[in-house]
């Protein structure tokens, strides 16, 4: 069981390829008459920080002080990235603006939750000598107090030999510091002198083998990892293996043997998208290792964080509260979706920035039944993210009487969160959800058919913003109160 989220003893410096991830969402209903291609009916689009910027965003979300160094173009994506990073609390004084190349941008076209196409706008050749000198100087300046350096290599030409040397120069003088690289490309030899590599299985198996590789020996992940640790003088390699979890290969003190630790994948309801998962792994294990955790515990923490981000379409981060729920040990990870009001508002704002349509519904949800499932599934179909707000126990007693709720709030919330079509659950203590609706600002407000529109709390708040209020017809004969009365009646007859 991994420990709670650690605190780094100082700032963490992130260096590497800064990317603007642009998302275009739409609907596909027909094939073009001009060519055998699908026609996307545009609905919305949004930007997200990617690459080294996403690593920095993950660290900031975990409460870390972060300095970022890299290159962006003097263009609209570069300016947007700087504003987004600054707003998240990332120090961008080490980011160099250049006229030599555009900001690396990846445009992903998505319909029905599936990626249809990706368009890359990038330059892959190494940065100019002038930009290299400016970046090396920035790394020395902003990374002076850093307790760790995380290098995010997307093979866009930023992590040159001189830049990598600048990242490892400080740690050579101060043994307490850590240098981690999320690698790219076939030449792992250029990372000689770093402490930790975090390749995925495919990257490791495609990497060029050092000359020490014994001819004719069986090639495997374990053998390659052990060879890389010894040949490059690494402290460890963490290999991410998708549905097979992770494998950590650590050099023992003698450097003669390498110890392997397998970390199984945490089960989720569904994996929606692996975009950015490697960034999350690098950020989380880097933070944890810099804070002094044993690497095996740090890797387990990173595994939990990666399990959170793959449940969301598009580049995203694992925030501290959600990660804390996951590492508490809930096997289903349902409680990771039960958030405080503050965390919920932040997650909804993040989803809205990505173009998501937010749906909100509320109720007591005591004794979950098929009528509730009908309501929730209909509600989720009206948007991209469903928030379910439930009354606290005291509020339920006020509404339903002294013998209710039958199920306490924490258990009601976890039951709802276990449903695949529910994205987040929040418990509100007030008599009505009005304050919560004002904070969340949903695009769609949904209630069951036992309400008329003028009885729905928050209707005016939503409609003033141009939102929609939807009443879902109630299934006949189904209500929690009737179920409770039936149970009590049977109980009386049984006595």
Beta pairing partners, 15: 69, 151
Beta strands 424-428; 385-391: pairing state: parallel
Q: Residues in the chain, how many?
A: 495
Q: Which residues contact 495 (CB under 8 A, 6 or more apart)?
A: none
Q: From the CB of residue 311, how many other CB atoms can be counted at a distance below 10 Å?
A: 19
Distance CA 195, CA 106 (A): 30
Distance CA 167, CA 15 (A): 8
The residue written with tokens 């810099």 in the block is 290
Buried b / exposed e along 417-450 (16+ C-beta atoms within 10 A): bbbeebbbbbbbeeeebeebbeebbbbbbbbbee
Q: Label residue 369 exposed, middle or buried (CB < 10 Å: 0-12, 13-18, 19+).
A: middle
The residue written with tokens 């390749």 in the block is 199
End-to-end CA distance of the chain: 46
DSSP H helices, 233-369, are: 277-290, 295-309, 320-327, 341-353
**Tokens standing for 141?**
């300046």
User: Does residue 179 sit in helix, strand or coil?
Assistant: strand
DSSP 8-state assignment for residue 407: S
Beta strands 38-51; 12-31: pairing state: antiparallel
The residue written with tokens 């409770």 in the block is 484
**Is there a catalytic annotation at residue 279?**
yes
Annotated catalytic residue, options 279, 319, 423, 443:
279
**Tokens standing for 422?**
């529910």
Is 227 within 8 Å of 209 (Cβ atoms)?
Answer: yes
Residues designated catalytic: 279
């Amino acid at each position: 069981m991994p420990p709670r989220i650690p605190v780094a003893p100082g700032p963490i410096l992130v260096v590497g390829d800064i990317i603007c991830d642009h998302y275009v969402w739409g609907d596909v209903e027909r094939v073009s008459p001009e060519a055998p291609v699908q026609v996307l009916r545009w609905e919305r689009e949004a930007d997200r920080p990617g690459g080294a910027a996403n690593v920095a965003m993950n660290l900031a979300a975990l409460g870390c002080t972060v300095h970022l160094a890299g290159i962006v173009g003097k263009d609209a994506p570069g300016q947007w990235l700087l504003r987004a990073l600054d707003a998240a609390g990332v120090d961008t004084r080490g980011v160099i603006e250049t006229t030599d190349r555009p900001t690396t941008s990846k445009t992903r076209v998505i319909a029905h939750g599936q990626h249809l196409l990706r368009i890359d706008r990038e330059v892959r050749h190494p940065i100019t000598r002038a930009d290299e000198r400016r970046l090396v100087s920035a790394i020395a300046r902003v990374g002076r107090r850093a307790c760790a350096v995380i290098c995010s290599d997307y093979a866009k030409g930023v992590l040159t030999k001189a830049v990598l040397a600048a990242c490892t120069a400080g740690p050579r003088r101060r043994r307490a510091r850590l240098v981690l690289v999320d690698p790219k490309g076939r030449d792992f030899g250029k990372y000689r002198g770093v402490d930790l590599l975090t390749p995925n299985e495919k990257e490791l198996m495609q990497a060029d083998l050092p000359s020490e590789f014994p001819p004719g020996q069986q090639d495997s992940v374990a053998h390659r990892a052990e060879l890389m640790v010894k040949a490059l003088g690494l402290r460890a390699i963490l290999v991410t293996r998708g549905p097979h979890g992770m494998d950590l290969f650590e050099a023992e003190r003698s450097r003669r043997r390498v110890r392997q630790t397998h970390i199984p994948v945490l089960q989720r309801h569904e994996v929606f998208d692996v975009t950015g998962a490697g960034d999350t792994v690098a950020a989380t294990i880097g933070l944890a290792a810099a804070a002094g955790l044993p690497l095996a515990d740090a890797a387990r923490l990173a595994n939990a964080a990666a399990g959170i981000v793959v449940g969301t379409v598009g580049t995203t981060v694992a925030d501290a509260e959600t990660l804390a729920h996951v590492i508490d040990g809930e096997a289903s990870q349902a409680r990771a979706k039960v958030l405080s009001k503050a965390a919920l508002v932040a997650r909804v704002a993040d989803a809205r920035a990505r173009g998501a349509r937010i749906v909100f519904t509320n109720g007591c949800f005591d004794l979950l039944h098929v009528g509730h499932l009908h309501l929730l599934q209909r509600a989720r179909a009206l948007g991209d993210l469903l928030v379910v707000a439930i009354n606290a126990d005291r509020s339920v007693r006020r509404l339903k009487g002294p013998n209710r709720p039958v199920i306490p709030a924490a258990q009601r919330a976890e039951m709802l969160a276990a449903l695949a079509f529910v994205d987040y659950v929040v418990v509100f203590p007030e008599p009505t959800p009005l304050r919560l609706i004002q904070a969340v600002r949903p695009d769609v407000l949904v209630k069951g058919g036992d309400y008329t529109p003028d009885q729905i709390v928050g209707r005016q708040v939503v409609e003033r913003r141009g939102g929609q209020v939807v009443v879902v017809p109630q299934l006949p004969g189904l209500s929690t109160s009737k179920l409770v009365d039936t149970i009590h009646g049977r109980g009386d007859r049984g006595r």
